[in-house]
């Protein structure tokens, strides 16, 4: 209520902009809210729930009711098409659009904020997955990690050497992230990219050779000794402990960028590396290829800042969005919170070079630049649930899975099946 009172003043009163954030990097985001406030408006942080589904529902409920107090929001890239299609996001125009999306923004991140030829959000930070591994393990397996490796090679190397492969295969969004990356890595797509923006009329293309290749990788891992015990319920956190076990050679793991800072903070702690030399055994490489010789398409995540279409202070909110996503803001998020930038210039900055090894920064920025987006559809959450329902459990994935999921996904999009 105090918010409304503050806004209602009209002349003289200072405006308040509400910024709905997800819980990642709160300390730095609070500082950003302060530094980006001006004499005309204050940015006030509002915290969203921890789960991505709950964040989406809460924002959607507000926006569907045309809430005028939702000014800025931190959005997972997969929600952007959905929100933009419902016209809940105020697009950036003219000079501001150029500012938000200049040449400095990495391609993978830039793709996530465009809808219908408009810039509907501003990329704030970008996440991507790379292959994390123990250097000693790769050496023992005879894998040349300077060249791109394939999933086949990684799974074989792990199972031949008593190691494991960590992935995310619980029935949730990150499993779709994995499936999507595998399919795109084989040159395919869940939905035909040229029709994906048509919503219900999008062409389902998961039943393809690429789909079968992806199912093949999942089946191979499920059937191999390299699968971790909690394979079918694994998430981003469950496989972290297998990298530096008290006994054993460690693991290969595809996971997001936070892994580096995570293990750095665990040096000489339980389930962390032994000393600095132990930490130096942590290696990183580009996301594995699905098909040998075909460049992999690493997953893209992160956060985009959207401006609520019903905000009372659209101009202020857009200016604030530009401020909290500029190079300075991105540097602070990367150095303090480990949330990697979506701008190339920030990767090249002195502050980041001090905080991360140069080759890791190069890997991250390349990975974001050449990564593959998840289907850009206003029906993404249904698409994701439909895929999860037919590809889980990973132990049951096999040659028929792409066809099964294609039929189901088509029925869902046409409104002929329940999810």
Partner 1 sequence: MSTYVQTAAPDEAPKAVDSDRTRAENSLARKLVAPAVVLMLVVTAFPMLRALYLSMFSYSLTAPDDKEFVGFQNYWTALSDPLFWRDTGNTVMVMIVTVTIELIIGFAFAMVMHKLIFARGTIRTSILIPYGVITVVSGFAWQFAFSNTNGFVNSWLPFIGDDFNWFAKYDSSMIAIMASEIWKTTPFMSLLLLAGLAQVSEDMLEAAKVDGATWIQRLYKVILPNMRAAIMVAVLFRALDAYRIFDNIFVMTAGANNTESISFLTYRQVIEQFQLGIGSALSVLLFLSVLVLAYAIVKLFKVDLSAARQEN
Distance CA 72, CA 16 (A): 11
Binding-site member from 379, 387, 405, 409 for partner 1 (CB under 8 A): 379
Distance CA 211, CA 190 (A): 8
Q: Which is nearer to partner 1, 308 or 371 (CB)?
A: 308
Binding mask 76-115 for partner 1 (x = CB under 8 A): ------xx-xxx----------------------------
Binding-site member from 46, 385, 396, 410 for partner 1 (CB under 8 A): 385
Q: Least distance from C-beta 70 to partner 1, angstroms?
A: 15
419 is a contact residue toward partner 1 (CB under 8 A): yes
In the chain, % helix, strand, coil (3-state, to 5) comes to: 45, 15, 40
How many residues are listed for the chain in this entry? 419
Q: Which stretch binds partner 1 (CB under 8 A): 27-35, 322-330, 376-384, 395-403?
A: 376-384
Burial 170-193 (b: 16+ CB within 10 A, else e): bebbbbbbbbbbbbbbbebbbbeb
Angle (nearest 5°) at CA 21 between 17 and 26: 110
Q: Least distance from C-beta 61 to partner 1, angstroms?
A: 8
57 is a contact residue toward partner 1 (CB under 8 A): yes
Q: Least distance from C-beta 373 to partner 1, angstroms?
A: 18
Q: Closest Cα partner for 303 from 12, 9, 16, 29?
A: 29
Q: Which is nearer to partner 1, 6 or 417 (CB)?
A: 417
Distance CA 360, CA 366 (A): 10
Q: Least distance from C-beta 87 to partner 1, angstroms?
A: 8
- Show contacts with partner 1 in window 173-212 (CB under 8 A): 199-200
Q: Which is nearer to partner 1, 343 or 392 (CB)?
A: 392
Which residues 6+ apart lie within 8 Å of 6 measured at CB?
A: 13, 14, 15, 16
Q: Which stretch binds partner 1 (CB under 8 A): 183-191, 212-220, 332-340, 375-383?
A: 375-383
Q: Closest Cα partner for 111 from 331, 342, 381, 344?
A: 342
Q: Least distance from C-beta 281 to partner 1, angstroms?
A: 33
Q: Which is nearer to partner 1, 83 or 316 (CB)?
A: 83
Q: Least distance from C-beta 80 to partner 1, angstroms?
A: 11
In 36-150, alpha helices (H): 52-64, 80-85, 94-100, 107-112, 135-141
- DSSP code of residue 369: H
418 is a contact residue toward partner 1 (CB under 8 A): yes
Q: Which is nearer to partner 1, 330 or 377 (CB)?
A: 377
Decide: 187 and 291 in contact? Cβ < 8 Å: yes
* Residues at the site binding partner 1, with contacts judged by CB under 8 A: 53, 57, 60-61, 64, 82-83, 85-87, 199-200, 378-379, 381-382, 385, 415-419
């Amino acid at each position: 209520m105090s918010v409304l009172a503050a806004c209602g003043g009209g002349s003289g009163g200072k405006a308040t902009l509400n910024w709905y954030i997800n819980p990642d990097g709160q300390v730095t985001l609070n500082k950003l809210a302060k530094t980006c406030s001006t004499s005309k408006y204050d940015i006030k942080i509002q915290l969203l729930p921890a789960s991505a589904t709950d964040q989406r529902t809460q924002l959607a409920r507000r926006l569907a009711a045309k809430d005028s107090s939702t000014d800025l929001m931190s959005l997972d890239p997969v929600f952007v098409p959905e929100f933009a299609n419902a016209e809940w996001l105020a697009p950036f125009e003219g000079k501001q659009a150029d500012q938000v999306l200049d040449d400095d923004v990495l391609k993978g991140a830039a793709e996530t904020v465009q809808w219908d030829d408009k810039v509907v959000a501003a990329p704030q930070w970008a996440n991507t997955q790379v292959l994390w591994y123990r250097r000693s393990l790769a050496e023992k397996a005879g894998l040349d990690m300077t060249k791109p490796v394939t999933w086949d090679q990684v799974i074989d190397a792990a199972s031949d050497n008593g190691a494991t492969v960590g992935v995310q295969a619980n029935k949730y969004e990150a499993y779709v992230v994995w499936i999507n990356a595998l399919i795109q890595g084989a040159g395919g797509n869940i939905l035909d990219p040229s029709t994906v923006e048509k919503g219900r009329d999008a062409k389902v293309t998961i039943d393809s050779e690429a789909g079968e290749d992806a199912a093949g990788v999942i089946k191979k891992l499920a059937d191999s000794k390299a699968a971790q015990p909690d394979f079918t319920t694994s998430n981003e956190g469950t496989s972290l402990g297998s990298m530096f076990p008290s006994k054993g050679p460690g693991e290969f793991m595809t996971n997001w960028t936070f892994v580096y800072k995570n293990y750095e903070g665990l040096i000489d702690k339980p389930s962390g590396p032994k000393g600095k030399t132990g930490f130096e055994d942590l290696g990183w490489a580009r996301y594995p290829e699905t098909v040998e010789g075909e460049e992999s398409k690493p997953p893209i995540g992160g956060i985009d800042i959207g401006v609520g279409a019903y905000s009372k202070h659209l101009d202020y909110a857009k200016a604030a969005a530009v401020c909290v996503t500029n190079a300075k803001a991105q540097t602070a998020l990367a150095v303090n919170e480990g949330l990697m930038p979506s701008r190339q210039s920030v990767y090249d900055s002195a502050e980041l070079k001090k905080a991360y090894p140069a080759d890791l920064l190069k890997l991250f920025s390349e990975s974001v630049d050449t990564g593959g987006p998840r289907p850009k559809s206003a029906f993404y959450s249904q698409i994701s649930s439909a895929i999860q329902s037919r590809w889980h459990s990973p132990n049951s994935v096999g040659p028929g899975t792409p066809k099964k999921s294609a039929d189901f996904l088509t029925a869902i999009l046409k409104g002929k099946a329940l999810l």
